[in-house]
Amino acid sequence: MQRFAQGLFFAVVVLAGIPESAGASADAGRPNVLLILADDLGYGDLSSYGATDLKTPNIDALVAAGVRCDRFYANSPVCSPTRAALLTGRYPDLVGVPGVIRTHPDDSWGALSPRAVLLPQVLKRAGYLTALVGKWHLGLGASSLPNRRGFDRFHGFLGDMMDDYHNHRRHGINYMRRDDREIDPEGHATDLFSQWAIDFLNECKGKDRPFFLELAYNAPHTPVQPPQEWLETVRQRAPDLDLKRARLVALIEHLDHGIGQVLAALHANGQAERTLIVFTSDNGGQLDAGAHCGSNRGGKQEMYEGGIRVPLCAVWPGRIEPGTRSDRVALSMDLFPTICEAAGVGVDHPIDGVSLLATFQGKKGEASIERDLIFVRREGGSKYNGQDYYAVRRGDWKLVQNSPFEPFQLFHLGQDPMEAHDRSVGERATFNSLSGVLRRHLQRAGTVPWQPSERAGGDEKLKPPTGHQASAHR
């Protein structure tokens, strides 16, 4: 278990051992920003969030070194919409991504609007060097690629999921890229992404220009393929643990180790004390893969709490007090204005998110902004048939449709956190009010095309292999 202890040491040195003078250094210029995004990490799958059968010392050290947000939510219970919301500050269906973007047009449910303004574009105008390492999942056409949407550097994977963490293919297609050049690297995807992030940090070492790095891992998304030695370590430590769960635990622990290596490089390069670090997940954990979503109902793909409630922590030495917590309700789209405010960058176009920076910094008198929040997903296959389903939240009231083919239910999360008692009959005024909020949102979203054929304009996509049969929904 030495590797865990070493990772924890580095993370503590980086994030909790910063001298008091670090605040003055951070004031000298705009902060670097490191945004770490896990894929399908459940709310209960970190030891700092209650897991007892896994060890995540590096992420736990991040949580301890800054603010932990206990009621943070993904904009959607699946991947692409949340990523679109995070990078645009908009509800995902308002930028053309109500559902998952996939290789094959007959099973793809979004196309990022060419009019959408992405976070790296805004930060570039303020002098930031911008990079994406890891998973993109917001389009395969030439005009949709990361380097065309504001990222100076891209080193990672274009597609939705890898069919194998070692050969990095999806439907037989190699989606690995270095900027616009196809590459075919050897190694486990988590290790590759960690090293490529370190390479970028090393490139930025000693430069005055601040950087924005989005480090978007595929892990712990299915297929659950931890390196064999990591699985063996978990099996030796917990021989009675179910094998499915043991594999996921090993994949998450391997992810945590990679994050520890990145944090160690940040420290070694002297970059840590002027870097804002944000860690979160794109949606809840996949229950049939062995994930735990805490004491919440449901998991990935579901509008219940387990599908959309995700961990989040933010660390900024000298600016965010270590060991603090917030119960403010917030969404992925709020990270766009939060990062912009931290960077001193104004936003001069419409967005739906609100900055959380004052909340992160624990400023007295900062009240939670009362607002209606909407969660969306469109999906295909016989289970969804190309239709969408939603949740709307106002305070502790939550209107939920967990399938396009079932009635809406109304829950009061403060009194019923497990969403077990539908109150749509007895609280008809609230039900009708939230339904009206949703209808008005649908009118706005209905003006935004989301089908690739409607806006591709001849944009060349990577060709899927012949003989395709529609994939299972991931």
Between CA 399 and CA 412 the distance in angstroms is 9
Q: What is the pLDDT of residue 452?
A: 73
Number of neighbours of residue 394 by Cβ within 10 angstroms? 16
CA atoms within 13 A on the CB side of 421: 9
In one-letter notation, the amino acid at residue 77 is P
CB 182 within 8 A of CB 173: no
CA atoms within 13 A on the CB side of 109: 23
pLDDT tens for the chain, 474 residues: list them: 334 344 443 444 444 343 333 333 333 579 999 999 999 999 999 999 999 999 999 999 999 999 999 999 999 999 999 999 999 999 999 999 999 999 999 999 999 999 999 999 999 999 999 999 999 999 998 888 999 999 999 999 999 999 999 999 999 999 999 999 999 999 999 999 999 999 999 999 999 999 999 999 999 999 999 999 999 999 999 999 999 999 999 999 999 999 999 999 999 999 999 999 999 999 999 999 999 999 999 999 999 999 999 999 999 999 999 999 999 999 999 999 999 999 999 999 999 999 999 999 998 655 556 899 999 999 999 999 999 999 999 999 999 999 999 999 999 999 999 999 999 999 999 999 999 999 999 999 999 999 876 444 334 455 554 444 334 344
Helical (H) or strand (E) element with 263: helix 243-268
Q: Which structure tokens are listed for 43?
A: 């709310």
Q: Which structure tokens are listed for 331?
A: 């969404």
**φ and ψ at residue 387, rounded to 5 degrees:** -100, 170
β-bridge pairing 173-174 and 169-170: antiparallel
Per DSSP, helices labelled H in 209-311 are 228-237, 243-268, 305-308
In one-letter notation, the amino acid at residue 410 is L
Between CA 173 and CA 103 the distance in angstroms is 9
**413-452 CB burial, b ≥16 within 10 A, e <16:** beeeeebeebbbeebeebbeebeebbeebeeebeebebeb
Tell me if residue 339 falls in helix, strand or coil.
Answer: helix
β-bridge pairing 211-216 and 129-135: parallel
Between CA 35 and CA 213 the distance in angstroms is 6
Q: What is the pLDDT of residue 218?
A: 98
What are the DSSP calls for 378-428, one per residue?
E--HHHHTT-EEEEEEETTEEEE-SSTTS--EEEETTT-TT-----TTTTH
Between CA 474 and CA 464 the distance in angstroms is 17
Length of the chain: 474
Cα dihedral angle (200, 203, 208, 212), rounded to 10 degrees? -10
CB 10 within 8 A of CB 58: yes
Q: What is the pLDDT of residue 8?
A: 42
pLDDT in tens, 269-283: 999 999 999 999 999
Q: Which structure tokens are listed for 180?
A: 């616009």
- Domains of the chain (ranges, CATH numbers): 2-360 (3.40.720.10), 374-455 (3.30.1120.10)
Q: Which structure tokens are listed for 260?
A: 């520890």
Cis peptide before 337 (omega within 30 of 0): no
CB 35 within 8 A of CB 214: yes
Nearest Cα to 441, choosing from 384, 393, 386, 385? 393
CB 170 within 8 A of CB 106: no
Q: What is the pLDDT of residue 1?
A: 37
- Burial class of residue 453 (count of CB atoms within 10 Å of its CB; 0-12, 13-18, 19+): exposed
CB 23 within 8 A of CB 317: yes
CB 44 within 8 A of CB 294: yes
